[in-house]
Amino acid sequence: MSERLSNRPPETGALFARDRSWHPPAFTPGYKTSVLRSPQKALLSLDGTLSEITGPVFGHNILGELDDDLIHNFAKPGESAIGPRIVVYGRLLDERGAGVPGALIEFWQANAGGRYRHKKEGYIAALDPNFGGCGRTITGEDGSYAFRTVQPGPYPWPNGPNDWRPAHIHFSVFGHGFAQRLITQMYFEGDPMIWKCPIVRTIPDRAAIEQLIAALDMEATIPMDARAYKFDIVLRGRRSTMFENRLEGN
């Protein structure tokens, strides 16, 4: 797998302002953990230091051959993950619609049965021995990315008496410095559970929610193998993708 990095200098200058009403308030009691996680005092916006925005650079030159193939990157030789196979693709864009090249994108998810592979998992669905649930890739010169995986399942979580998370994939977008990281989630077109999720319902604008939903693209499928979903990520501007960890701006 090529590095796909360039010597293009980073863009400098003012960023486009974000629309705070586009994002959920920090305190949303319907999403129970926000009660303790939300700030208790007024927010402060701090500029990044030179060391934070320029380094350390990591991950861009050590990608494995199967890092963008979750169907096989944890599987035994000759075997593969269980579940409906899909391709997820799209572009990483700035506020003007221009592609952002050379960005490290990590993704992680539950398996087809809705279970994560970690020690504190509370859901009793079966683990898939051939599915690790994580991978990464680098965006191309036009900001494009793609990876193969299985469609994750929904799962219950201890927020309310009977709350379930809709099927989703987590995305982590890294820039060229340690502090340049943004986290979001992707949902699937046509899933009725999206609109019942307490986390999703904290977002006040339906259009913002729809921007988190990947569109089924039957023109990009792999015949007799995998469906395709298209998910673009907008980094900045008044209609940027909703990020969980940078509500004040990116």
Sequence spans of domains, the chain = 57-234
Q: Is 21 helix (H, G, I), strand (E, B) or coil?
A: helix
Q: Encoding tokens for residue 201?
A: 């319902």
Q: Which of 31, 155, 187, 229 is catalytic?
A: 155
In this predicted structure, what is the pLDDT of residue 215?
A: 98
Q: Which of 115, 165, 187, 236 is catalytic?
A: 165
Report yes or no: 115 and 107 within 8 Å, Cβ to Cβ.
no
Q: Does residue 123 carry a catalytic annotation?
A: no
Q: Does residue 170 carry a catalytic annotation?
A: yes
Q: Which of 23, 136, 168, 236 is catalytic?
A: 168
pLDDT by position in tens, the chain (length 250): 344 455 666 555 556 666 777 778 889 999 998 998 898 888 777 777 777 666 666 556 778 999 999 999 999 999 999 999 999 999 999 888 889 988 899 999 999 999 999 888 889 999 999 999 999 999 999 999 999 999 999 999 999 999 999 999 999 998 766 677 889 999 999 999 999 999 999 999 999 999 999 999 999 999 999 999 999 999 876 667 767 655 555 5
Other Cβ atoms less than 10 A from the Cβ of 16: the count is 15
Q: Does residue 155 carry a catalytic annotation?
A: yes
Q: Does residue 168 carry a catalytic annotation?
A: yes
The structure's pTM equals 0.86
Q: Is 166 helix (H, G, I), strand (E, B) or coil?
A: coil
Q: Assign domain 57-234 to its CATH architecture.
A: Sandwich (2.60)
If we measure between CA atoms, which residue out of 25, 15, 16 comes closest to residue 238? 16
Q: Which of 72, 117, 170, 201 is catalytic?
A: 170
Q: Which of 116, 145, 187, 229 is catalytic?
A: 116
Angstrom distance (rounded) from CA 130 to CA 150: 11
Q: Does residue 89 carry a catalytic annotation?
A: no
